[in-house]
Amino acid sequence: MTTVRMLLWGPDRPGLVASAAAFVAERDGNIVHADQHTDAEAATFFQRIEWRPAADAELTAAGRVELAGEVAALAARLGMDHRLRYADEDRPFALLVSRQPHCLLDLLARWYSGELPGRPAVVVSNHPDHAEVTGRFGVPFHHLPAGPGQEEEIVEILAGAGVEAVILARYMRVLSPTVLDRWPAAVINIHHSFLPAFVGGRPYHQAHHRGVKLIGATAHYATADLDEGPIIEQDVVRVTHRDDVEALVHAGRDLETVVLARAVRWHLTDRVLVYGNKTVVFN
């Protein structure tokens, strides 16, 4: 049986956890995971509850619509925003990539082996290099060279595929609001540095020039401001003075794939909430 994922966020006050738990209990649901966070400075409460419905629960389309209405009423009564999803929902996403294939291949392999939720519905690239390997996974591939009208074509292809998230798997172009506004807080980028350090292009060269002892990777939601979007996940690896730029690039690629995969998995399992320029990532 599928599980229900209910997220609530809004002004903090006593009784919110009890109210959400009582809502589930009244429907004979069994909570299998719950996590919450309070931002004391903003006086804002965030909660994610995942529960298994009662054995006789109505999980038809009509039943899910009814539950959506009940959750909306609960959120309104508590003065909260909300999100409701089911673990068995189809979650199609797009992969955008340029020449470097490591993040693309890692995500496709994780999905193929059952490690990554969701479904890669389409791959779009500004280079033709990855058409053959993408085809081996049975995923449609579109080559759209950079130029006037490219983003409008991207939107048309992605909308036609019905994607709900866009993964920039080392897509080395800055997207405009044409794409970003169509999928708000759902375009995930991997940047090959520990942001906010070394924004923009050639971060490994910047890191080598600065003589850093740690290099990092950052997965974040893309916004109109380059490399400034809400951060989902970061990680680092130690380097030394003996490492040249090529060595930093080699070490960083492994890090990029892991950090991006975590961010995609958390997004597709409804573990991320954006508020302001920050995120809450539930355990």
- Please identify every residue annotated as catalytic: 227
How far is it, in rounded angstroms, from Cα 196 to Cα 199?
6
Cα→Cα distances 7→35, 110, 214, Å: 10, 26, 35
Contact 204, 239 (CB under 8 A): no
What does the DSSP assignment read for the chain?
A: ---EEEEEEEE--TTHHHHHHHHHHHTT-EEEEEEEEEETTTTEEEEEEEEEPPTT---SHHHHHHHHHHHHHHHHHHT-EEEEEETTS--EEEEEE-S--HHHHHHHHHHHTT-S-SEEEEEEESSSTTHHHHHHTT--EEE--SSTTHHHHHHHHHHHHT-SEEEESS--S---HHHHTTSTT-EEEEESS-TTSS-SS-HHHHHHHHT-SEEEEEEEE--SSTT-SPEEEEEEEE--TT--HHHHHHHHHHHHHHHHHHHHHHHHTT-EEEETTEEEE--
- Only one residue has tokens 């399992």, namely 269
- Structure tokens that stand for 250 in this block: 């080699």
Q: Would you give the distance in Å from CA 111 to the centre of its chain?
A: 15
